[in-house]
Structure 1
Amino acid sequence: MQANTTTPILPFRSPETADPANIDAEYDVIGAILVDPGAIARIAHKLPPEAFYVHNHRTIYQACLEVYRDGQVVDLMSACTALANDKQLDKVGGKGAIARMFDQCLTSANVDQHADLILEKYQRRVMGRVGADIQAVAKDTTQSTKEAMRVAQYAFRELLELASGSNSVLKLSDVIADNTRAIDEAQAGTAPKGIPTGFYDLDAITGGIKPGDLTILAGRPSMGKTAGLVNIAAGLAAQGCGVYISSLEMSAQQLGFRIMSADASIESGRLRSGLVGTHEWEDLGHSIGKLSGFPIWIDDNFRQTPESIAANIQRINAENGPGTISLVMVDYIQLMGDRGAGNRVAELGKISRGFKGMAKELGLSVWALSQLSRGVESRNPKRPLMSDLRESGNIEEDADTVILLYREDYYCPDTPDKGIAEWIVGKNRNGPTGTVKLLFEPTFTRFRNMAK
């Protein structure tokens, strides 16, 4: 579309374009950071220079970012000096043009919202480019379908990183600035906290469930690994957090019965057999109504991989809104991949690295259940150790947190600790280790907090 030549266009504001862009927002953001020295700190972490559509706007904003990251105050003079030093001042219209942006800014109060508008348009431009790239590779018959899919996945990953605001390359000064802000928030009591699991003593050690973390919940058979998965999944869903369960051992129906059993306090075998007493139907009906509203997705496909799970989560997030899934739970990691592979240890290491990468890339938490080696059974006491994980690839190294489950009464029925399970936090990358005791009710596959 041709610009209306009878209407003067403000400096650097371009005529309408077919590409998604918000030129006014770009102009106003630059004016705001020139007027208010504190404005750039509010947007520098989320608004990259390439988000600006107009080249001159991008150049000016880049200069302001460099001033800010060098620890100087961003204002009209420092911005012009930085541009002049880079021999860019005349190219963007000179000091007078930048001064007009300064003069026409009435307030910096809306700089955050205007930055978001710029980002939204930038995301749409990237979306269009990625879509065109995928369409082109789909039509390119010179490439194999496998290679075309790899290229398409890479392009789609770029979109996901853009949507999540992730950036793997950070300048140390930016990291320190973010950490300083985190310290201030922690002192003020406003720092973001992990999502509670519902087990108070466990949360006190681990800080709850945090995005980007990989947690391994390990134990020998019958220690209660799946029960722990069910309890934590339901606890998070009750708080409105989306949970994705990758169930390689049980069918979705079996897992559903366990969730119903734990909530309604009715043994799951009786539920499957229909042996529900008249007096129990009221409790069961209440549980059914509550659980039906829980944001839990179950995938019982036995051919799952970290990549296929990530693709499913991306689809769920696309259909239900960004960040719908907060927690991924895998039952269990040794059932994944080719169990007949020659180097099983290496393959398990690749799988655990895949889950750690997924947690960081998608901004969620991954809990993977893991079997422990049979060596536990051949010694006394049989309390598990971190070394019992070392036959399972790099699981221990990749995990941020490792929790080992142990029930003394499984091996010694006459123990005074009957009905008590130990959750041994053997590794905690961001905090202390320690042991938490929980009540275990095998009839309902349920853990509960110990009475204080």
Structure 2
Amino acid sequence: MQTNNAPVVPFRAPKTAEPANIDAEYDVIGALLIDPGAISRIAHRLPPEAFYVHSHRVIYQVCLQLHRDGQIVDLMTVCTALSNSKQLERVGGKAAIAQMFDLCLTSANVEQHAELILEKHQRRCLARLASELQRIANDQTKNIQDCLSSAEANFRDILMLVAGDCNAVPLSEVIAENVGHTEQAYQGGGLEGIPTGFYDLDEMTRGVLPGDLTILAGRPSMGKTAGLVNVAVQVANSGHGVYIASLEMSAQQVGYRCLAADAHLSANKIREGKLGANDWEDLTHSVAKLSGLPIWIDDSFRQTPEVIAANVQRINAENGPGTIKLVMVDYLQLMGNRGSINRVSELGQISRGLKGMAKELELSVWALSQLSRGVEARNPKRPMMSDLRESGNIEEDADTVILLYRDDYYDPESSDRGLAEWIVGKNRNGPTGTAKLLFEPVYTRFRNLAGRTA
């Protein structure tokens, strides 16, 4: 099969008689250059050989290699990689790459465009198969059974192409991985994942597990963000990197909460500088402790699963593979276009994106979520799974759903004053149930009932 090896200038390759969608190829490359997260959405599905234009194929192959090496895919890294491999001029030079970048307005349709490219690739393969079958049929030196066997083998190749890569693994590998996890849990005192520091909760959930999506949901003032910060600090204290996507609060506000919880001081006192001598001593100690923790906070308002994944990959590239083990999102409903007509569908896409990121990057994702106002209209007001606001596929995508409840928020005279319930309403890894913790709102801190801090 002949392919077009000409550079990508002026900016579109010429039309071809063979099945090909040159515009889709161009747009896919442009999307990869403007959105570092786009490559993760198509890398598993679109092979380099699907590109008809040779220069497009070369650029895409470089993008794939950067992605597999844990590096960011963007205009600068792609041009540098092409230059280092002495392929930059062969694909049209920096001007051609920059033109692709400039003319691409969005990466929103990168998956659909990738499918168009793949379809044309499959059609070219079918055309090649038709020619091969004609050659086999006309080969009078072979008997008909050999001809049919050759035809069957060629058809099988086409079917494998349509199906894509096979991700099946032998049971022996699965069992070996199971045993490895069992040994790890044994050495960790029965806990497979990273401890949250909340012992009753860890006993149910097995800790912070890679590949899992956990939803921490509750009505306002239940302590969702406090719980997020407490778990983040505990995980980081264990030596694991944490990325916090804070769409609601600024990085400074998150920092104040970290300091308040660790120093046992009011966040307002710290913010206003109303501290005594002992307070300053406690604060200084906490500053030294927290400053050494591997926690990154991004308070950019418009974040998506793809953007977060790209940022995590950048941090991993700069600090070592697998640095980030936990991504925390505050909170789910602030992602995407809040004016979207089909909000349920959009949130479903976001939750699937977060789950996909957890699996692909082998880390855990915790996302905060609001609950519907219907909780306030009934008694008792203890939340249920059905209260997940605009839930869409959130419950389906999540491995664990934890609902926060504080009875004393509604009844100051409650016999459970000072207690918070972490209700595990869904748990793919173990039992459901309730973990009761002490909550200190002044310090925005949860503690184990036995008095051992998280």
TM-score by length of 1: 0.65
Name 2:55's counterpart in structure 1. Answer: none
Name 1:231's counterpart in structure 2. Answer: 230
Please say if residues 305 and 336 of structure 1, whose CA atoms lie closer than 8 Å, have aligned partners that are also in contact: yes
Q: Aligned equivalents of 1:145 and 1:384: distance in 2?
A: 45
Name 1:261's counterpart in structure 2. Answer: 260
1:412-445 Cα offsets, whole Å, 9 max, x none, are 1111110000000000112111100000000100
Amino acid at match of 1:212: G
SS of the aligned residue for 2:302 comes to coil
The verdict on how the C-alpha distance between 1:169 and 1:449 changes in structure 2, with shifts beyond 3 A counting, is farther
Please say if residues 400 and 429 of structure 1, whose CA atoms lie closer than 8 Å, have aligned partners that are also in contact: yes
Q: Aligned equivalents of 1:331 and 1:344: distance in 2?
A: 18
Amino acid at match of 2:392: G
* Cα offset, 1:261, TM superposition: 0.3
SS of the aligned residue for 2:420 comes to strand
Q: Aligned equivalents of 1:143 and 1:446: distance in 2?
A: 48
* Cα offset, 1:123, TM superposition: 6.3
Name 2:97's counterpart in structure 1. Answer: 138
Name 2:62's counterpart in structure 1. Answer: none
The verdict on how the C-alpha distance between 1:151 and 1:386 changes in structure 2, with shifts beyond 3 A counting, is closer
1:163-194 Cα offsets, whole Å, 9 max, x none, are xxxx973335x1x1123224544665369820
Amino acid at match of 1:296: I
Q: Aligned equivalents of 1:252 and 1:442: distance in 2?
A: 20
TM-score by length of 2: 0.64
* Cα offset, 1:150, TM superposition: 7.9
Name 1:81's counterpart in structure 2. Answer: none
Q: Aligned equivalents of 1:244 and 1:350: distance in 2?
A: 21
Name 1:179's counterpart in structure 2. Answer: 174
**How do residues 24-103 of structure 1 correspond to structure 2 at under 5 angstroms?**
none
1:189-231 Cα offsets, whole Å, 9 max, x none, are 3698200001111110000001111000000000000000010
Please say if residues 138 and 148 of structure 1, whose CA atoms lie closer than 8 Å, have aligned partners that are also in contact: no
> What is the total number of aligned residue pairs between the two structures?
319
Q: Aligned equivalents of 2:302 and 2:449: distance in 1?
A: 38
SS of the aligned residue for 2:341 comes to coil
Name 1:35's counterpart in structure 2. Answer: none
**How do residues 397-436 of structure 1 correspond to structure 2 at under 5 angstroms?**
397-436=396-435
Q: Aligned equivalents of 1:348 and 1:275: distance in 2?
A: 42
The verdict on how the C-alpha distance between 1:170 and 1:259 changes in structure 2, with shifts beyond 3 A counting, is same
Q: Aligned equivalents of 2:209 and 2:232: distance in 1?
A: 14
Aligned: 1:169 with 2:166? yes
Amino acid at match of 2:359: K
* Cα offset, 1:144, TM superposition: 3.6
SS of the aligned residue for 2:202 comes to helix
Please say if residues 348 and 395 of structure 1, whose CA atoms lie closer than 8 Å, have aligned partners that are also in contact: yes
SS of the aligned residue for 1:447 comes to strand
Name 1:57's counterpart in structure 2. Answer: none
Name 1:450's counterpart in structure 2. Answer: 449
- Return 5+ residue gaps in structure 2 as ranges: 1-64, 71-76, 115-163
* Cα offset, 1:362, TM superposition: 1.0
Q: Aligned equivalents of 2:379 and 2:177: distance in 1?
A: 45
Name 1:209's counterpart in structure 2. Answer: 208
Aligned: 1:298 with 2:294? no
Q: Aligned equivalents of 1:131 and 1:184: distance in 2?
A: 40
Amino acid at match of 2:174: N
Amino acid at match of 2:262: D
SS of the aligned residue for 2:404 comes to strand
* Cα offset, 1:151, TM superposition: 7.1
1:222-269 Cα offsets, whole Å, 9 max, x none, are 000000001001101111111111111111111100100000001000
Please say if residues 213 and 354 of structure 2, whose CA atoms lie closer than 8 Å, have aligned partners that are also in contact: yes
Q: Aligned equivalents of 2:79 and 2:69: distance in 1?
A: 10
- Return 5+ residue gaps in structure 1 as ranges: 1-118, 156-166
Amino acid at match of 1:442: P
Q: Aligned equivalents of 2:306 and 2:180: distance in 1?
A: 35
Q: Aligned equivalents of 1:142 and 1:274: distance in 2?
A: 48
SS of the aligned residue for 2:338 comes to coil
Q: Aligned equivalents of 1:168 and 1:416: distance in 2?
A: 58
Name 1:251's counterpart in structure 2. Answer: 250
Name 1:28's counterpart in structure 2. Answer: none
Q: Aligned equivalents of 1:187 and 1:353: distance in 2?
A: 28
* Cα offset, 1:316, TM superposition: 0.8
Please say if residues 181 and 192 of structure 2, whose CA atoms lie closer than 8 Å, have aligned partners that are also in contact: no
Q: Aligned equivalents of 1:204 and 1:431: distance in 2?
A: 9
Q: Aligned equivalents of 1:395 and 1:385: distance in 2?
A: 14
Please say if residues 202 and 436 of structure 1, whose CA atoms lie closer than 8 Å, have aligned partners that are also in contact: yes
The verdict on how the C-alpha distance between 1:223 and 1:319 changes in structure 2, with shifts beyond 3 A counting, is same
Amino acid at match of 1:145: C
Name 2:138's counterpart in structure 1. Answer: none
1:292-322 Cα offsets, whole Å, 9 max, x none, are 1111111111111111111111111111111
Please say if residues 328 and 367 of structure 2, whose CA atoms lie closer than 8 Å, have aligned partners that are also in contact: yes
Please say if residues 219 and 384 of structure 1, whose CA atoms lie closer than 8 Å, have aligned partners that are also in contact: yes
Q: Aligned equivalents of 1:130 and 1:433: distance in 2?
A: 51
SS of the aligned residue for 1:308 comes to helix
**How do residues 301-450 of structure 1 correspond to structure 2 at under 5 angstroms?**
301-389=300-388, 391-450=390-449
What is the root-mean-square deviation in Å for CA atoms of aligned residues? 3.3
SS of the aligned residue for 2:296 comes to strand
SS of the aligned residue for 1:437 comes to strand
* Cα offset, 1:142, TM superposition: 11
Please say if residues 390 and 396 of structure 1, whose CA atoms lie closer than 8 Å, have aligned partners that are also in contact: no
SS of the aligned residue for 2:313 comes to helix
Q: Aligned equivalents of 1:273 and 1:302: distance in 2?
A: 26
Q: Aligned equivalents of 2:101 and 2:385: distance in 1?
A: 50
SS of the aligned residue for 1:355 comes to helix
Aligned: 1:286 with 2:285? yes
Name 1:21's counterpart in structure 2. Answer: none
Q: Aligned equivalents of 2:99 and 2:228: distance in 1?
A: 45
Q: Aligned equivalents of 1:207 and 1:347: distance in 2?
A: 30
Name 2:23's counterpart in structure 1. Answer: none
Please say if residues 243 and 327 of structure 1, whose CA atoms lie closer than 8 Å, have aligned partners that are also in contact: yes
* Cα offset, 1:283, TM superposition: 0.9
